[in-house]
Amino acid sequence: MSRIQQVAERVILNVEQVIVGKHQAVEMVLIALLCKGHVLLEDVPGTGKTVLAKSIARSIGCSFKRIQFTPDLLPSDVTGVSIFNQQTRQFEFRAGPVIAQIVLADEINRATPKAQSALLEAMEERQVTVDGTTYELPHPFIVLATQNPIEYEGTFPLPEAQLDRFLLRIHLGYPDQRDEIAILKRQRQAHPLDTINRVLEIDTLLQLQEAIKDVYIDDLIEEYIVALVAATRNHEDIYLGASTRGTLALYRTAQARAAILGRDFVIPDDVKELALSVLGHRLIINPAARMRNVSARGIIHEILNSVPVPGARAGRRHERTPATAA
């Protein structure tokens, strides 16, 4: 797993030439990339969501497309359209911007549900269907979607089915004063994004995506993951808990985090660190609980404190799998 750790550190350091003071957010996007998952970047304008997506794409050398979601956006504007060629007397497919390796869906909640649904097939099945013909999407394929959680006028909230397809939801937040001063200095002459270099080949990334599946997860950790998800389904303040897709997401992201940190086994702290980003957007809180200002963050923290953390398994790979919390 040291190779994955070395590559991850190289990519993170490269991205942090542009994104200052957001190590955890950059790490989370890299985890999603290793897990072949999609990311919802939810924060106010101007916090670096678009720049983060571009930095990741340039660090890996992936093809990058940006879709600006607006109320008049059509599904064909996302997936592409078949156009009749007068010379060849045949229909030709003109690919839409979704056919790229890294796709930035900017302000995704400003499009109508019909336009938003154009991403559903692409995100889950890695393909798009236009006029009855199916087109495979390139590998790797990841959607980085952004939305503003403050401004609700003229927006269409994402349905639960689409939220569930995002592996992680990440909040960037404002930088502290020291980091903001560093940003000013770095952009004094030019934007650092213009000079960022490729540090990871696509073939290597595809190999690492398969390698993280070999990270060992003890049965006790698996039971812990399932218990956390089950607790969201039985909580009195939650109308709808996390899905089985959420269980699988927590399982796979824990493997990726362990590999990035140089381990070939998962510990409970990996699961704890990822629980909010993986499960928070998959919960529907009861209206009565929302009136009491109950949030998904508070519920996840409550569940993490109430579900027992597994101890070390005696007699089975004990030397490799310290299941106690760090």
pLDDT tier for residue 326 given thresholds of 50, 70 and 90: very low
Task: Please count the residues of the chain.
Answer: 326
Q: Are strands 39-42 and 168-170 parallel, antiparallel or unpaired?
A: parallel
Question: Model-level pTM?
Answer: 0.86
Q: Provide the phi-psi class of 36: left if phi over 0, else alpha when psi is between -120 and 50, else beta.
A: left
Q: Work out the widest C-alpha separation in the chain, in whole angstroms.
A: 73
Domain ranges of the chain: 2-208, 215-306
- Pairwise pLDDT comparison (159 vs 265), residue with the higher score: 265
Tokens of residue 208, six digits: 């690492």
Note the pLDDT of residue 116: 85
List, as one string, the DSSP characters of 106-169.
ETGGGS-HHHHTHHHHHHHHSEEEETTEEEEPPSS-EEEEEE-SS--TT--PPPHHHHTT-SEE
Strand partners, 136: 127
Q: Are strands 102-106 and 127-130 parallel, antiparallel or unpaired?
A: unpaired
CATH of domain 2-208: 3.40.50.300
Tell whether omega for the bond before 140 is within 30 degrees of 0, i.e. cis: yes
- Look over the chain and give the mean of its residue pLDDT values, rounded to a whole number: 86
Note the pLDDT of residue 1: 62
Report helix, strand or coil for 297: helix
pLDDT tier for residue 322 given thresholds of 50, 70 and 90: very low
Report helix, strand or coil for 272: helix
CATH of domain 215-306: 1.10.8.80
Note the pLDDT of residue 314: 39
Question: How confident is the model over 305-309, as a mean pLDDT?
Answer: 91
Where is mean pLDDT largest: 28-37, 142-151, 289-298? 28-37
Tokens of residue 109, six digits: 């909640």
Q: What does the alpha-carbon distance between residue 183 and residue 192 come to, in Å, rounded to a whole number?
A: 10
Q: What does the alpha-carbon distance between residue 208 and residue 231 come to, in Å, rounded to a whole number?
A: 32
Instruction: Look at residues 56, 36, 59 and name the one whose alpha carbon lies nearest to residue 141.
Output: 36
Q: Are strands 142-147 and 284-285 parallel, antiparallel or unpaired?
A: unpaired
The one-character DSSP state at 312 is P
Distances (CA, A) of 60 to 7, 19, 261, 321: 11, 16, 20, 32
Residue 252 CA to chain centroid, in angstroms? 12
Same CATH fold, 215-306 and 2-208?
no
Q: What does the alpha-carbon distance between residue 19 and residue 52 come to, in Å, rounded to a whole number?
A: 7
Comparing 11-15, 113-117, 248-252, 308-312, the range with the smallest average pLDDT is 308-312
